[in-house]
Amino acid sequence: MNDAPEENVEPTRKTSRGQRLRGWVTSQPRLRLGLVGVVALALVAGAWTGVSYASNGSEPAAAKPSATADAGDSQSLSPEPHPSTAPEKEKTEKEKKPKPKATEEEEKPKTEAPAPGCDGFSGNQLTACKMLDDHGFGTDQMDCLSQLWDHESGWNHQASNGSSGAYGIPQALPGDKMASAGSDWSSNPATQIEWGLGYIADRYGNPCGAWGFWQSNNYY
């Protein structure tokens, strides 16, 4: 018989499912504490990065745009080409050039040709031509007056129309009407012409007006 003492050996314990569950629940606070520590470290690291960026005034390398993008932006922002203004400058320079001065002949105002004078007339016609201006007529009216009284009396201051009683150069009807121009109306050609020009001015405006009427009616 063996008298050696027996060793105290603990019997192997079997871990039940309930014990394992309790152990997991017990370890959960430790796990949560670990996660909280990791998150806190991450926040601290991010804050430090922001402070470092603000103090250095530079961006992280990843935030910088690529060289290709910069080139594209610079091309899109470049000013559009404008057409040359050289033609406008040439036009302005031409306008500024002084115009050549007009010659003396060009500077002189063009005047109308002078009215014909009385040089081509004589006798009673010359007397009448010189009296035109007194009644506001120009010598250009003399041609009409010459034809008018040539048809009426042939410029004869003694011409008389036996059937009508008209008398003198203007063939006044009756002849004594000419007394308003002078008492010598029956013998003075100038007195007859004075009366005749006044009659024409009052009735027709001018000798050419009287001559135009005579051509249509054979009297005036």
Domain spans in the chain, listed from the N-terminal domain onward: 123-217
pLDDT at site 22 = 54
Q: Are 166 and 160 in contact (CB under 8 A)?
A: yes
d(CA 171, CA 196): 8
From the centroid of its chain, how far is CA 74? Answer: 42
Our CA angle for 188, 196, 152, nearest 5°, is 90
pLDDT tens digit sequence for 51-60: 444 445 444 4
Instruction: Write down the residue that tokens 């009644």 correspond to.
Output: 135
161's CB contacts (< 8 A; 6+ apart) are 167, 171, 173
d(CA 23, CA 62): 46
pLDDT in single tens digits along all 220 residues of the chain: 444 444 444 444 555 555 554 554 455 555 555 665 656 666 655 555 554 444 454 444 444 444 444 544 544 455 555 555 555 656 566 566 656 555 555 555 555 555 578 999 999 999 999 999 999 999 999 999 999 999 999 999 999 999 999 999 999 999 999 999 999 999 999 999 999 999 999 999 999 999 999 999 999 9
What would the two tokens of residue 95 be? 């306008």
pLDDT at site 117 = 86
pTM of the model: 0.50
pLDDT tens digit sequence for 90-114: 656 656 665 655 555 555 555 555 5
pLDDT at site 58 = 47
Q: Are 188 and 157 in contact (CB under 8 A)?
A: yes
pLDDT at site 220 = 96
Q: What are residue 164's phi and psi, to 5 degrees? A: -105, -25
Q: Are 116 and 144 in contact (CB under 8 A)?
A: no
Q: Are 128 and 193 in contact (CB under 8 A)?
A: yes
